[in-house]
């Protein structure tokens, strides 16, 4: 038990090494509650690629623990499955955390008597899906704050990956040291242009805050939203004022459960409005894939893959994706090469990080992810 009223947390570990200062987090299940896909197979592949392209390089596995949060799907026997994807050093980092009986996976009190059938697009997007949104938007910061306090740890940065978040190229440097050395509060990889649905809650917040809370950037409906299936965040940023106050306001309005307001929109508002641009970083150097497939056709209907400028195998990686996930199932996609003006120039810090060559990122996407010719709206 982490804190009074938190409920029970069951944690399985392979070893007993002391906690590190950083954590890589997954919220996983064996079968997706909304999309019905084989999530466990995806998770094993995401872990394999994380191992090959990050954890096994240099001493990266020594600088981060891996938390696999779940709601009753996993137990200690599943550690055997993970051993096939991870080295012994990385296995020492694994924490399998059952949050199903904890306060971190519970309806807020103001939703206690809600009828889910009155929620927007329910049951297409299940209650579990909405709890996932709430966990990554609201609860995860409190979890690590509580864990630090009760376990004597000092987790400073967390990096999120989904079970279908695939890092396809080697990352030679330590991501967490990079964030800390540059005093970044938040890092992300891709943009998704769906911020229009955030405008009602942003308008309510603006009316409430008046002139008391300065913002660094106003929220616009056609701006880049952080496609936050990959992010690295400083925990303290989300616990600080006014960010924590904003998150509490959003939560109390009830739009996460009742209107399916996504953690993408909530993170985007919390980061772009309250953090100066020099504290936010967009990663462009590694090749990254995340896509949501249609249950019937198998075609990706949202997301895709984007090459990283440091990926020496970018052409092969993108061709493999195209052959397997576009050509073979006969899917429609948008294929382009993204240039710096459309790649969040305020946050990519290319020149500051010594990138002087022209960047052109091969991009295969579907939906409103990585749109061409967005300019300053990309950030």
Q: Over 60: is that where the pLDDT of 11 sits?
A: yes
Mean pLDDT in residue range 130-143? 99
pLDDT average, residue stretch 162-184: 98
Q: Is residue 1 included in any domain, yes or no?
A: no
C-alpha to C-alpha distance for 39 and 306, rounded to whole angstroms? 22
- The domain total for the chain is 2
Whether residues 209 and 296 share a domain: the answer is no
Last residue of a domain, one of 281, 314, 347: 281
Q: Do residues 247 and 135 share a domain?
A: yes
Query: Residue 348 belongs to what domain range?
Result: 285-378
pLDDT of the residue at 8: 84
Residue 5 lies in a domain: no
Q: Tell me what pLDDT residue 35 has.
A: 53
As a whole number of angstroms, the distance between CA 70 and CA 32 comes to 12
Among the residues of the chain, which ranges form H helices? 39-50, 79-83, 88-91, 127-134, 140-151, 175-181, 199-209, 235-239, 243-253, 255-258, 263-274, 314-322, 345-348
Is the pLDDT at 33 greater than 60, yes or no? no
- pLDDT band, residue 208 (cuts 50/70/90): confident
**Domain co-membership, 295 together with 350:** yes
> What was the pLDDT predicted at 357?
81
The proportion of the chain whose per-residue pLDDT surpasses 90, expressed as a percent, equals 85
Q: What is the mean pLDDT of residues 151-166?
A: 98
């Amino acid at each position: 038990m982490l804190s009074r009223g938190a409920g029970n947390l069951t944690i399985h570990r392979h070893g007993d090494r002391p906690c590190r200062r950083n954590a890589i987090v997954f919220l996983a299940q064996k079968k997706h509650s909304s999309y019905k896909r084989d999530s466990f197979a995806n998770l094993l592949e995401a872990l394999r690629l994380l191992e090959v392209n990050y954890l096994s390089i240099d001493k990266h596995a020594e600088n981060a623990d891996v938390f696999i949060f779940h709601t009753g799907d996993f137990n200690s026997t599943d550690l055997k499955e993970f051993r096939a994807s991870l080295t012994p050093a990385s296995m020492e980092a694994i924490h399998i955390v059952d949050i199903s009986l904890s306060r971190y996976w519970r309806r807020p009190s103001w939703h206690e008597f809600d009828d889910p059938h009155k929620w927007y697009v329910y049951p297409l997007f299940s209650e579990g899906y909405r709890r996932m949104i709430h966990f990554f938007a609201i609860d995860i910061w409190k979890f690590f704050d509580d864990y630090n306090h009760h376990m004597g740890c000092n987790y400073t940065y967390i990096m999120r990956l989904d079970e279908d978040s695939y890092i396809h190229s080697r990352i030679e440097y330590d991501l967490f040291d990079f964030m800390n050395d540059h005093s970044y509060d938040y890092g992300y990889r891709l943009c998704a242009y769906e911020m229009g649905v955030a405008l009602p809650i942003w308008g309510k917040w603006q009316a409430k805050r008046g002139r008391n809370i300065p913002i660094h950037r106003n929220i616009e409906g056609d701006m880049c939203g952080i496609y936050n299936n990959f992010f690295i965040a400083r925990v303290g940023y989300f616990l600080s004022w006014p960010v924590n106050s904003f998150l509490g306001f959003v939560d109390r309005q009830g739009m996460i459960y009742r209107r399916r307001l996504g953690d993408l929109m909530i993170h985007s508002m919390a980061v772009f409005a309250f953090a100066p641009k020099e504290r936010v970083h967009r990663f462009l150097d590694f090749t990254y894939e995340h896509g949501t497939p249609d249950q019937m056709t198998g075609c990706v209907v949202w997301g895709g893959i984007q090459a990283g400028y440091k990926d020496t195998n970018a052409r092969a990686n993108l061709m493999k994706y195209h052959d397997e996930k576009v050509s073979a199932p006969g899917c429609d996609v948008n294929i382009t090469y993204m240039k710096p003006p459309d790649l969040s120039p305020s946050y990519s810090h290319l020149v500051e990080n010594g990138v002087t060559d022209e960047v052109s990122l091969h991009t295969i996407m579907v939906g409103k992810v990585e749109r061409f010719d967005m300019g300053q709206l990309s950030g």
